[in-house]
Amino acid sequence: MSDYPDVLTLLPHRPPALYVDRVVSWEGMRLVAERHFLPEDVPGHFPGRPVVPGVIMVEALAQSLACLASLMGERGNPYLTGIEKAKFRGMVVPPATLRFEVEVTERRMGVTWAKGKVLRDGVMVCQASLQAVLIAEGAG
């Protein structure tokens, strides 16, 4: 059980596009979240030997960053606007619990930059630098 609000109250995302199960810790500009993946969560990637796609790991980092913004009291819909230096350092075969760590490195003129990493059993399997913005609901 987490001491933090349910991710459904923090994010606009819903299954099957919700890739964060819970917030594990939050301190200042850093947040840690988790997701337990089962083989049925990635049925078409690859049939008979499922693998959690790298793009889902990066999206989970972005959703973790959005959870951080929400916990900080920021409002609006979160949008990922950039991904840099993404590296995939290991294959994730479910069942697997992944840990998503994000830390804001800079904020300027409504844009947030962060570094993120994905760990499985304490071993980094993915890392990326993210850029994101919050856009007010109804704005477009």
Q: What percent of the chain has pLDDT over 90?
A: 89
Q: Residue 139 above 90 pLDDT?
A: no
Cβ of 11: how many Cβ atoms within 10 Å?
A: 20
> Taking a C-beta distance cutoff of 8 angstroms, is the pair 51, 93 a contact?
yes
pLDDT for the residue 1: 55
Tell me what the mean pLDDT of segment 31-47 comes to: 93
| Fold (CATH) for 7-135 | Thiol Ester Dehydrase; Chain A (3.10.129)
pLDDT for the residue 140: 62
Active site residue 45: yes
> Per the residue annotation, which of 45, 87, 89, 107 is the catalytic one?
45
